[in-house]
Structure 1
Amino acid sequence: MKFNTDFLVIGSGLAGLAYALKVASKRPDAKVTIVTKAEESESNTRYAQGGIAVMLDKDEDSFKNHITDTLIAGDGLCDKEVVKMVVKKGPKRFREITNWGAQFDKHPSGDYDLGREGGHSVNRIVHHKDVTGWEMSRALLEQVHSMPNIEILSYHFAIDLITEHHFKEQPEVKPGEVTCYGAYVLNQKTQQIERLLSKITLLASGGTGHVYKSTTNPLVATGDGIAMAYRAKAFIQNMEFIQFHPTSLYNPGASPSFLISEAVRGFGAKLKTKSGEAFMHKYDQREELASRDIVARAIDSELKISGDDFVYLDCRHLDMEAFKKHFPNIYEKCASLGIYAEKDMIPVVPAAHYLCGGINVDMKGRTNVGHLYACGECSNTGLHGANRLASNSLLEALVYAHKCYKDGIKKYESIEIPAEINEWSAEGTVEPKEKIVITHMRKELQTLMSDLVGIVRSNERLRLAKEKLHLIYKETKNLYDNSTLSPQLCELRNLVTIAYLIIEQSIDRKENRGGYFNKDLV
């Protein structure tokens, strides 16, 4: 079965929705199709608590300040031109999303209530209580539903991008000259694999958090877009730079881990050991407001020293009425577990949170694969370098969605989709007798990555991880080649690819930078 579209968007987070909305508004004659493997609102965007970093207060802030803070966090690996472009385009893109109906907290004076997070020299985080991502997603989905030329295909799992090696007669293609013509997509309702042909394809598929045991990411974050792009010969870079959020709620068995926003530390909360001792002063003069990699490693170090499972975040000294108003979702979640912030310290541990690398794109969002764009967390734009500055991710998503839209809209009409593209073939495959094997291998992979490729790495751990991953890869490939496809099997295949890229690029990294720390390189 096949169907065609003009613009295919894989992913329904902020980046994908903003892009689709711009394209559909500009070209009402064009068909835009959004594919998402769960319900339309399920994405990393939805769980972004803290806010969006944007320069709005010209008295206290400046583009120069925001650029400098981003470059410092990125530890020398940011692309300076990209940083300048994203920061300077930020206010305009932010005004667009407010025009689309997103609401942000304001003071009675009418000025935005700007928060502060680690790595920022001034208050510049615009937020909607502690559910900023949810509010932005809500507003964009409302707009998207009003556009007759946008179709959202929920519960459709993109398996692979369509390129020349899916032609009936495969042409000779030189490296760097691959072209994308859409994707093969598993319709989870019919269990059929559909050939979805498209002139322009945008990967906005989010992050990779579930390659680890503990992550703040929703269950959909399994690196599907990056893995598909890698198989289609796109360039992937900086996968070793995983940002571990220092403070996820310690609640064993819960997945995903509940995030205690960095803004809580910006509000004045202190990190303490189980014995009640503050410790951040030992690691950085900025203490709790140091960048995330420093805070996460500090907690990791304290846990190794003490042997404890968690540290505490102490909010007891804060103005609790203001705290409840600013962080209602966090307060209620803790209270539901019997933790009351006014009298109890909150147990926290680091968790995999954000991927700073991904699919290489230029300043227009283009990959090295023809007609294929990427934006949002799955992309490597050069903005984050070795470590993302807090709340720059939503800003990047908006700016690059616009860049991708501006470039793709110029060329889509002249693109011809070849007629000789194969339908998907499932010949020779059978339904696996037991899916417990897939579940077991996924858990084994997550344990391997958490134990050996976590916040602190070593040459020996990386060598062992590579060796063990090869065994999981062989078993997964055998399953994939011989089984009827399911989302669970496809996710496992993608997670194995992500793990491979993280391990290989970690081995290639010969110096500690930002979020990457190998104790043998000290």
Structure 2
Amino acid sequence: MSDPRWEARADLVVVGTGVAGLTAALRAQALGLQVLVVTKAAAEDGNTRWAQGGVAVVLPGEHDEGDSVDRHVADTLVAGAGLCDEDAVREIIAGGPAAVTRLRALGAVFDPGSDGRLARTREGGHTAFRVVHAGGDATGAEVERALLAATRDGRVPVLENHVAVQAVKTVAGAVAGLQVLDANGVPGVLNAPAVLLATGGLGQLFQATSNPEVATGDGLAVALRAGAPVADVEFVQFHPTVLYTGQGARGRCPLVTEAVRGEGAVLVDATGARVMLGVHPLADLAPRDVVAAAITRHMALERGGVDDHVFLDATHLDAATFRTRFPTVYAACLTAGVDPVVEPIPVAPAAHFACGGVVSDVDGRTPVVGLYAAGEVASTGLHGANRLASNSLLEGLVVGERAAEAVAADLAAGRLADPCRAVVADLPTAPVADRDSLQRVMSRYAAIGRDAEGLAVVGSVLDVSTVDKRLESRLLVEDAALTLAGRALIAAASARRESRGCHVRTDFPNKDDAVWRRSQLVRLTPTGQPVLGNLTALRGAA
């Protein structure tokens, strides 16, 4: 055991400054809780700011004729390919209108339509125009701006440049705080009876991603090491249209929001032939997993597999319309030397959203007392095997608020541990793989199109290349988290011998409802190895 170099105390520690974390922090403070938000980078550096499309929501009096919450639920269930929890889907989507209203009350400004109501667009998998947006294609940036402004105005403390290492627990196994490292590797402990993980996803597990560099699966690792299970980690959604900037692109690549397709753009190959024609009834507006897989197949077939991208043709939009509606995409295209008004945009799929995560209910509670999760790091049952476009910001707004209320209720009922009973351990030692090698093998063998042989290659690389290291810096914490996330994903993907949603097995190309219409969970053994289980019995207990 070791004493921390410094300590702080709160009722609730929120890890992450994205939409879910800040929403939870603001609501918890309004409920009278002492809140501390911690983030490993600057407050503005989370995933939320990069969300282009919008918020999928059916607002009273501002929706298409015939659209409804029920129809939004139905679209979500179709996209989730049989693995959504329908009750969770219904609760979260039904909470959307009130959540957006609260966000607007905080100062978030959404784009108006010509009729005076909010402008709405349509994205992949949606059967109606129900996605509200801000700044054309800068919705995440506006949501983040409004939440950060409210946080600062409300004097919610944010501890920047501190990375979460591991949960601090009592002898009985309840979470009672969080061990962190500052930018210089100095350890400290944030004592709290409740810790909410809102750390985003794991896009940096792959070579090319829409995610920023901070998306390294940290929350998944903290939860697993704390004894919490994760579910559906084999389902990683690849966004179909990320700007192609040349062979070997690495790190965060500019997103080309599917709202461009919602405004009539179509995918074509180098010859001008339509990619999605005849593939799906919704054609270019099919769910993301369908479009990404179709592009991947098309690239493999074109010119003997030489092509590594296709094109998004939006030249039907005039210059003024494109610049106004999609300023972020327009600027990224020009930077890459492409004028989207006069020539098709080169695009390719890249890692986008994790569909699974830490098992939790719609109130953010996990099976570990005192540990909560919200946003992309969580698996509430909303997404199943594939995320419906623009449900992500919606989930963060709704579940973030509900999680704060759950913490307040659990505190009041005496369900949480006394932080004074916490046992502070030394910094952990964990397997760490070389990030570059890990990203290369994951992108080659565990992206879109997997088979048993390739997954075994990844497993072997992880087995022979990892080195146990003491997690005494942010880089080591991140690389250990990516290594653990990779191991969990490979274990789940190897076991799921079918193709469903984002999980495409070329050796098992068909969906198998008789055996696999269920989620898998992953836990760690006492020695830190991922083991698989069935989520069915656990979901209701979370």
Q: 1:73 aligns with which of 73, 76, 79?
A: 79
Unpaired segments ≥5 residues, structure 2 = 1-5, 510-542
Which of 6, 10, 29 is 2:15 aligned to?
10
Post-superposition offset of 1:410 = 1.8
Q: Distance in 2 between matches of 1:95 and 1:466?
A: 46
Match of 2:245 in 1: 251
Look up the match of 1:153: 159
1:53 pairs with 2:56: yes
The reply to whether residue 278 of structure 1 matches residue 274 of structure 2 is yes
SS of the residue aligned with 1:276?
coil
**Within-5 A mapping of 1:431-470:** 441-470=434-463
In the TM superposition, residue 424 of structure 1 has moved relative to its aligned partner by 5.2
Alpha-carbon distance, 1:363 to partner: 2.7
- Which residue number corresponds to residue 372 of structure 2? 373
- Residue number among 256, 262, 277 corresponding to 2:258 in the alignment: 262
* Consecutive aligned runs of 4 or more in structure 1 exceeding 6 Å deviation: none
After superposition, the CA RMSD in angstroms is 1.8
Residue-by-residue CA offset, 1:135-190 (whole Å, 9 max, x unaligned): 00000100001123x210010011111123xxxxxx4x5xxxx31111110011x4
Pair 1:318-2:313 in alignment: no
- Is the CA contact (8 Å cut-off) linking 2:370 and 2:417 kept in structure 1? no
Secondary structure of 1:500's counterpart equals helix
8 Å contact 1:161–1:228 — kept in the other structure? yes
Distance 1:13 1:277 in 2: 39
Within 2, Cα distance between the matches of 1:401 and 1:385?
19
1:204 and 2:198 aligned = yes
Aligned length: 492
CA contact (8 A) 2:232 2:379 kept: yes
- Residues 168 and 424, structure 2, Cα contact 8 Å, conserved in 1: no
Query: Are 1:120 and 2:126 matched, yes or no?
Result: yes
Q: Which residue of 2 aligns with 1:432?
A: none
Q: How does 1:107-506 map to 2 (within 5 A)?
A: 107-128=113-134, 129-148=136-155, 150-164=156-170, 171=171, 178-188=173-183, 190-252=184-246, 253=249, 255-306=251-302, 307-412=306-411, 414=414, 415-419=416-420, 421-423=422-424, 425=426, 441-473=434-466, 475=467, 477=468, 480-481=469-470, 485-506=472-493
Q: 1:74 to 1:416 in 2, by over 3 A?
A: closer
The percent identity for this pair of structures is 38
Cα distance in 2 between the residues matched to 1:315 and 1:327: 11
* Residue 268 of structure 1: how far off its partner (Å): 0.9
Aligned to 1:25: 30
Q: How far apart are residue 418 of structure 1 and its match?
A: 4.5
- Determine the C-alpha separation between the residues in 2 that align with 1:191 and 1:407: 33
Question: 1:423: how far off?
Answer: 4.5
TM-score w.r.t. the length of structure 2 is 0.88
Distance 1:316 1:185 in 2: 50
Match of 2:538 in 1: none
- String of CA shifts for 1:245-284, please: whole Å, max 9, x gaps: 0010011445301000010111111111122221211422
Q: For 1:72 and 1:426, locate their aligned partners in 2 and report how far apart those are by CA, in whole Å.
A: 44
Distance in 2, matches of 1:5 and 1:309, equals 50
- Does structure 2 conserve the Cα–Cα contact (< 8 Å) formed by 1:239 and 1:358? yes
Q: Which runs of 5+ in 1 are unaligned?
A: 165-170, 430-437
Q: Is the 8 A contact 1:55 1:66 kept in 2?
A: yes
Q: In the alignment, residue 77 of structure 1 is paired with which amino acid?
A: L
| CA offsets 1:106-128 (integer angstroms, 9 cap, x no match) | 12432111000010001000001
Superposition deviation, residue 285 in structure 1: 2.7
Alpha-carbon distance in structure 2 between the residues aligned to 1:491 and 1:198: 23
